[in-house]
Amino acid sequence: MVDFWTVSLAFVVVVLYIWWKNTTRDATLPPGPPTVPFLGNLLSVSPETMLDKFQEYRKKYGDVFSLITGSRILVVINGYETLREIFIKHGDKTSERPDHFLTRDVGQFKGTLWKEHRTFTINALREFGFGKRSLESRIIEEIEVFVEEIQNKKGEPSNIHSLINVCISNIICSINFGQRYHHDDEKFRTLLDAVNRNLSNENVMFLATILPFVKYIPGDPCRIKKVLENQRLVEEHLRQLVKEHKETYDENTPRDFIDVFLKKMIAEKNNPSATFDDDQLLKIIVELFVAGTETASTALRWFSLFMIRHPDVQDKMRKEINDIVGTSRFPNMEDKPKLPYCEAVIHETLRVGAIVPLSIPHGLTNALDYKGFTIPKEAILVPNLHSVLFDEAIFPDPHSFKPERFLDKEGTLQNTEKVLIFSLGRRVCLGEALARMEVFLFASSLIQRFRLLPGDETIPEEKGVTGVTYAPRDFFLRAVNV
């Protein structure tokens, strides 16, 4: 009779063999660095060194290379033309999302569910001005609060990260929930703090995608439990808002996105295949709240930092604004085409700041044959936007802050389409139009009214912190009236 130890040994051998097979590269895959037995290329996906490693691998293996991480195959896509080919030309195969256990938002929906809810969300948001000039008045209201708060500081050193975050959050809150919050609102602050804690957790979502077993590790070394707890706090707050909306709902007077979704839920209640329910509503408003805040907020923090480091640039911006707009009103979207230097500065901020160096991973509907290699259906595609933003062939001297690179000899904007911040293809960010509007209006209004100076003798460094986005480290500045 076979004893326990023989069975156990056989089991361990089989498990180790399977793990070894899963950490070796199949010859049909795109090339990549050598794998380490039982680890594959796990050591290459450390948050601290990942971008440098990817740059090194791109030079050695080309624009498409593969990494083996446990049971997952990562295929990293680099370069402007290659990104367009994979995610636009082959978008019918490369617009899925890989499974993981952290996010619960519309960006993670798949197939027909994703298409249905994305289309509905876009149309519903348009009802409240998304992508239209009518949204401008809501943004200007927050800019007025923003400027007043800065003026109240009277040129004293301050960290305006929180102020920027609250003002930007209030814009999406007015669309989502039909209300704005006071800067000192305790519940609102708790909500923002929970979101910020998750966003600052270095690549936890990426880790959850490539190593799904991390949630079973005792303790919380990867901060997974903390992320899930913060997520629960956000969902509880938003679930209460949905409950309040249901209690005061009037089908003839939709106040915001929640009301429009509730109207759709009621219309579909007798449809057995309907997908519009409380759970889907919660997923969508969580994503709109988080994504509608973070990109623009981070961009404005980078903008403030770059203006401190480059006073000549903010002087040129201010002169252009004063010549075209004057000082009696804030800049608006009609002014934007007449302010090419301001636009160039914003594009250079987005490029050098590299707010989203790696876009959210994509999945595949089917295997994809590419230049003699096969990318299997189970692979995870990683769009490396950083490879475009710092491509010397596109942007010479890429690590220098030079807004003029986006202007031709006549002062007309050029090459801006290659500043890939909001991803590309069918999964392009829902909030791109809003974020671009916010960044332009806030940045131009800030420079119109204030000269930004270092908070003390120390000029903040351009080094950032990697989380869900790449954000500057906290810094202090002085904003002096001009």
Degrees to nearest 5, angle at CA 435 with 431 and 436: 120
Please write down the long-range contacts of 58-62, taking CB distance under 8 Å and 24 or more positions apart. 58/384, 58/387, 60/33, 61/30, 61/31, 61/32, 61/33, 62/30, 62/31
> Within a 10 A sphere around the Cβ of 137, how many other Cβ atoms?
10
Among candidates 461, 340, 315, which has minimal Cα distance to 404? 340
- Whole-angstrom Cα distance, residue 391 to residue 2? 61
Q: What is the DSSP letter of 135?
A: G
Helix (H/G/I), strand (E/B), else coil: 269: coil
Q: What is the dihedral of CA 227, 122, 422, 76, to 10 degrees?
A: 70
- Whole-angstrom Cα distance, residue 182 to residue 180? 7
> Within a 10 A sphere around the Cβ of 54, how many other Cβ atoms?
22
* Residue 222 labeled ligand binder: no
> Is 474 in contact with 159 (CB distance < 8 Å)?
yes
First-to-last C-alpha distance (Å) of the chain: 90
Q: Is residue 411 exposed (0-12), middle (13-18) or buried (19+ Cβ within 10 Å)?
A: exposed
Helix 257-267 and helix 111-127, axial crossing angle in degrees, nearest 10: 130
Q: What is the dihedral of CA 246, 248, 249, 250, to 10 degrees?
A: 170
Degrees to nearest 5, angle at CA 49 with 43 and 55: 100
- Whole-angstrom Cα distance, residue 112 to residue 91? 15
| Neighbouring residues of 158: CB distance < 8 A, sequence distance ≥ 6 | 150, 455, 476, 477, 478, 479
> Is 382 in contact with 358 (CB distance < 8 Å)?
yes
Using the Cα atoms of residue 179, residue 184, residue 186 and residue 191 in order, give the sign of their dihedral.
positive
- Binding annotation: 429
- Binding annotation for heme: 429
